[in-house]
Structure 1
């Protein structure tokens, strides 16, 4: 953006009031031709407004915002597929439905939180559909992060992906130490066939070369 354009927008916004909070400085105006409703971005949820975070980045007031065309309605006492709390008995600004399976319902704030965390892996939490689901959510004003899922950088998740790699016997006999391992022979490391959380060198547990499985004392 050019500095002069930014200044012009600020000057224009100073003359507009937000229909949601009734304060001045509203920089967003409904895209619908002939509609002069303006609002602050933080006031969008309060006013049930939608901003599409793709393409032309259009924004709409509560009256002209896009509606889901899905005809399926939540069953009585149906719950959000994400937080499991009860959802409304019809689709609305706050209650949304997957256009693919038409069975997954969720609160807007729940699916928005999931979209920011899932990033490029964002899909329906029930049917796993991605293409139609993604476009529908973008159209309905859900902001989707373009980065990798947040949980991929979580140390706890990374630890789950790592294979156990040490000998846990009371006395490790390997000259190379507990962390040393070879593809075969007496220093091949076998993991517990039940929990995979403990390991042993063949020689440290007196296992023959033909033995393919072993269980730790805890299992």
Structure 2
């Protein structure tokens, strides 16, 4: 396929100035990293006791792993509103010191937020990390998206995280570490964690990769939903990104697609032009992509009028021969 025309919005708009974000991972409500919904948690502190700050809370990241958390410690007054703070469900549940009460409510989320302002993540090195490795004496902390991206082991049943350094201890958790395909522990570093059901799968058993972007927010085949409408769908209508393994309905794309493409497909978040380096998210959704989504429309247009040998633009009277492979 010389030209891919599945130019879709995929709900990938940049955060606006007033977009609400999690005060731990700094991602918005409909994040692709599996943190679930944003929840409001009360605070035991009086807002009046928080020192006001002239500096606003940093704008939410664009859901890229490089923008998780905070580059510098945010002022507490910017993290809390008049009655509490906003935190993703899983970011809160997994945080060190947070307790689940009998009524399913969570306690001490505000304290976890405060501690996170000074705690860097072992994976991304940015602040806001509150999930500690369960191994005795280990002081590694992670953001929820970074937990999976780093290759750490996560047990949803026991809310236990084991960093890559101590991942061998996962075997002690029994069935929690079994692959849903081969029913064995196998290679622990190859296990993918479904952020929806908590089941683990070996990447090799599913014949997919295990890159950080695939691990973060990964959903197993049984749980995979469209990242635009958040609903499941028939396999014949679910388009899966070749790079991040996230799913999108063909009819949720803008413009919609009639059928699944035969060639590998990449969502806008995973498209990066190999020539100019422009990421798909920063280009209009109407931009067309070429060579399996590795060359943007602008660079493709320049290719067609510039000689690949001398680098000069061809005059109207000179015809350039087009390569049948890279065009």
Same fold by TM (over 0.5)?
A: no
Q: RCO (CA 8 Å, sep 6+): is it higher in 1 or 2?
A: 2
Which has the larger Rg? 1
**TM-score of the aligned structures, taking structure 2 as reference length:** 0.26
